[in-house]
């Protein structure tokens, strides 16, 4: 087997951490031939709980799990890190202003960015899960001047997977018969889940999704349903999305590292990159990555785009997929609005001296 890879999970004692660590240790993220070394970062108050999770990881006797270390020191947690999963964040509590939330998270993601800058491996890849994910990623990147900004990303794969699942259910097909969904913008309720270029496989042939499902459903029901799915899960489950978020984080890091075409390497099926089918057309997924100015998203913002990876260090933004309001009536301006929200968050953290 290959050399072990070093994976750091922050917020390791939390709900998402609990689901995420076991998937990674089982080989679901980096493949069945790649041993992993896990670094669990927590705050002092949750260290003991993280140690309990480490005991359970040992008890699972995962053949690929080379080592587990639990720490509250970012310098130790990020030493030699190749895959950084930044899950721990300060949640918004009752009565908390947005500025307070951004400032509290700046106090987490600034120092973690600096620790990544100083201690990570040259090939480090970072995905921020903790909210507000896009802006937390921006803060971390700003504190890591020696690491290329393209290595800092935020998770919108959960939104993407939710969109794939909703479209498949409506069209009455399997998730593997859906392709070409895009999540644009912020991981928040302003996001734009876009079906303009989506395709659905019906009776063996790929067709434009908006010829299979009703465009009015897509614009009026699908878009808000996906954008507000997090709240729906909280209401029904009584707790926020955890296993689905962990699964999406695994999908994001796996596709980035192994490539979006690598679904067949035995790491599991990939709903969003379906189909071996060459007739599916170009394949992409969604991730929040640093903008190069594509799609009129200001350069430097970390915004969700249609992306592919060939397994190299950076995701690639797929060109030519601008949303088309003539196909999805009423959605004009939605991309601009979610980008405006990202700009407002960036300006707020800049005003707080966090960038």
Interacting residues with ligand NAX between 94 and 113 (CB under 6 A): 108
Q: Long-range contacts of range 71-76, CB-CB < 8 Å, 24 or more positions apart?
A: 71/39, 71/40, 71/41, 71/42, 72/41, 72/42, 72/43, 72/44, 72/47, 74/41, 74/111, 74/112, 74/115, 75/115, 75/118, 75/119, 76/39
Whether omega for the bond prior to residue 271 falls within 30 degrees of 0, making it cis, is: no
Task: Output the smallest distance, CB 340 to ligand NAX, in A.
Answer: 20
Among 36, 158, 173, 195, binds ligand NAX (CB under 6 A): 158
**Residue 112 counted as an annotated binding residue:** yes
190 binds ligand NAX (CB under 6 A): no
Q: Does 155 bind ligand NAX (CB under 6 A)?
A: yes
Nearest CB to ligand NAX, comparing residues 161 and 257: 161
Query: Is 87 within 8 Å of 17 (Cβ atoms)?
Result: yes
Classify residue 266 by its DSSP letter: S
DSSP category for residue 222: I
What gap in Å lies between CA 55 and CA 63, rounded to an integer?
15
Q: Which stretch binds ligand NAX (CB under 6 A): 26-34, 39-47, 143-151, 318-326?
A: 39-47
Cis status of the peptide bond prior to 201, with omega within 30 of 0: no
**89 is a site residue for ligand NAX (CB under 6 A):** yes
Closer to ligand NAX at the Cβ: 35 or 130? 130
Min dist. Cβ of residue 327 to ligand NAX (A): 26
Asked if residue 242 binds ligand NAX (CB under 6 A), the reply is yes
- 23 annotated among ligand-binding-site residues: no
Q: What per-residue string of b and e applies to 227-239 under the rule 16 or more CB within 10 Å gives b?
A: bebbeebeeeeee
Is 187 annotated as catalytic? yes
Tell me if 351 sits within 8 A of 341, measured CB to CB: no
Residue nearest to ligand NAX (CB): 14
Among 27, 31, 35, 88, binds ligand NAX (CB under 6 A): 88
Instruction: With CA atoms as reference, report the closest residue to 131 among 48, 16, 292.
Output: 16
Q: CA 188, CA 160: separation in Å to the nearest integer?
A: 13
Q: Which of residues 112-151 bind ligand NAX (CB under 6 A)?
A: 129-131, 133
Q: Is 302 in the site for ligand NAX (CB under 6 A)?
A: no
* CA gap 285, 93 in Å, rounded: 32
Q: What is the total residue count of the chain?
A: 355
- Contact characters 310-349, ligand NAX, x per CB under 6 A: ----------------------------------------
- Residue 11 lies near ligand NAX (rule: CB under 6 A): yes
The answer to the question of whether 125 is labelled as a binding residue is no
From the list 83, 143, 160, 187, the catalytic residue is 187
Catalytically active residues, by annotation: 187
Binding residues for NAD(+): 11-17, 105, 112, 129-131
Binding residues: 11-17, 92, 98, 105, 112, 129-131, 162
Residues that bind ligand NAX (CB under 6 A): 10-11, 13-17, 41-43, 46, 87-89, 91, 108, 129-131, 133, 155, 158, 187, 230, 240-242, 245
């Amino acid at each position: 087997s290959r050399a072990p890879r070093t994976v750091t999970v922050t917020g390791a004692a939390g709900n998402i951490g609990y689901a995420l660590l076991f998937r990674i240790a089982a080989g679901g993220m980096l493949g069945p031939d790649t041993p992993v070394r896990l670094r669990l970062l927590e705050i002092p108050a949750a260290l003991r709980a993280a140690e309990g999770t480490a005991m359970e990881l040992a008890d699972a006797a995962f053949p690929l799990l080379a080592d587990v270390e639990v720490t509250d020191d970012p310098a130790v947690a990020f030493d030699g890190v190749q895959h950084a999963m930044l899950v721990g964040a300060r949640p918004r509590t009752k009565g908390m202003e947005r500025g307070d939330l951004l400032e509290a998270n700046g106090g987490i993601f600034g120092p973690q960015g600096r620790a990544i800058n100083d201690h990570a491996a040259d090939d480090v890849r970072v995905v921020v899960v903790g909210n507000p994910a896009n802006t937390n990623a921006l803060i971390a990147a700003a504190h890591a001047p020696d690491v290329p900004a393209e290595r800092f990303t935020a998770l919108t794969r959960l939104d993407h997977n939710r969109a794939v699942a909703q479209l498949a259910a409506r069209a009455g097909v399997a998730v593997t018969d859906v392709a070409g969904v895009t999540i644009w913008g912020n991981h928040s309720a302003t996001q734009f889940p876009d079906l303009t270029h989506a395709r659905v496989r019906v009776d063996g042939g790929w067709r434009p999704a908006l010829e299979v499902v009703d465009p009015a459903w897509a614009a009026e029901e699908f878009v808000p349903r996906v954008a507000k799915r997090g709240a729906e899960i909280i209401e029904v489950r009584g707790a926020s999305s955890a296993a689905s978020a962990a699964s999406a984080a695994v999908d994001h890091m796996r596709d980035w590292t192994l490539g979006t075409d690598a679904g067949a390497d035995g790491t599991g099926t990939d709903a969003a990159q379906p189909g071996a089918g060459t007739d599916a057309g170009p394949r992409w997924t969604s991730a929040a990555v640093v903008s190069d100015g594509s799609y009129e998203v200001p350069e430097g913002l970390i915004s969700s785009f249609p992306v592919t990876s060939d397994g190299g260090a950076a995701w690639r933004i797929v060109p030519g997929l601008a949303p088309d309001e003539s196909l999805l009536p009423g959605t004009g301006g939605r991309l601009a609005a979610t980008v405006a929200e990202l700009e407002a968050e960036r300006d707020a953290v800049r005003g707080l001296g966090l960038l």
